[in-house]
A and B are shown apart, each in its own frame.
Chain A
């Protein structure tokens, strides 16, 4: 990797934006599992493993899986965010591997929000 200059940084920024974008990645959905210490302590790794197993088992190739830090509401961990192409991200709380499997089939593949597990729609606003 060559060392960046300031111009490279701007180019890299444009490119990196694309890789985070569902449309340019031809993905139908992005699932973010929140993996801070509190998430992991309450079982986020197991939830992630269940998700990956489901994706592999179903032969799906157009779902992006990513991790992020704590979402702030530690008492409701493990949490995950599901974002379908062109739709608002939905935050799910108190997940278990079983709930994640159900969520994957109903929401990610079936495009139906699983209301029982959902906390809210949208992202946090930053200043």
Chain B
């Protein structure tokens, strides 16, 4: 399915309604791992909303990205419980190893480094979530080993 047809299908699924914008963008993000510009443009045309309006939404909510994300999203929880148990050191270590800052992707598209404000698993702090896996009670030493299996 080309990207325009995909957008049309999503509009049919979620309803021809401005309130469905966020749900549609979520589906696009999930499938493509980002929101491509042409899809955003087509969605704006179809729903008769300004592109600026959709751009605003796509950049306001953290779940959306306008650039392709890496194959694996490595997300460090920086909730308070994780913070007091050493999350900042984990981020330092990841920045050093991956040579990128949180919010960006390695040039080989292997990893995207992100932070999240709390995943609600505070008993296992500090926590790093890679894709769907929760790496619990992380330390700098365990981190290197933990990331090796994600190619």
Contact = CB atoms under 8 A, between A and B. Distances in A.
Interface residues of A, number: 8
Contacts, number: 20
B134 interface: yes
Interface stretch (A20-28, A34-42, A51-59, A115-123): A34-42
Contacts of B127: 41
A6 B134 CA distance: 44
Contacts of A75: 123
- Residue in B122, B123, B127 with the greatest tally of chain A CB atoms within 10 Å: B123
A37 B136 contact: no
Interface in A37-88: 37-38, 40-42, 74-75, 77
Interface in B19-54: none
A71 B113 CA distance: 32
B124 interface: yes
Contacts of A38: 121, 123-124
A38 to B, nearest CB: 5
Contacts of B124: 38, 41-42, 74
B47 to A, nearest CB: 34
Interface of A: 37-38, 40-42, 74-75, 77
Interface of B: 119-124, 127, 134, 136
The 8 tightest CB contacts between A and B, nearest first, are A74-B123, A41-B134, A75-B123, A38-B121, A41-B121, A38-B123, A37-B121, A41-B124
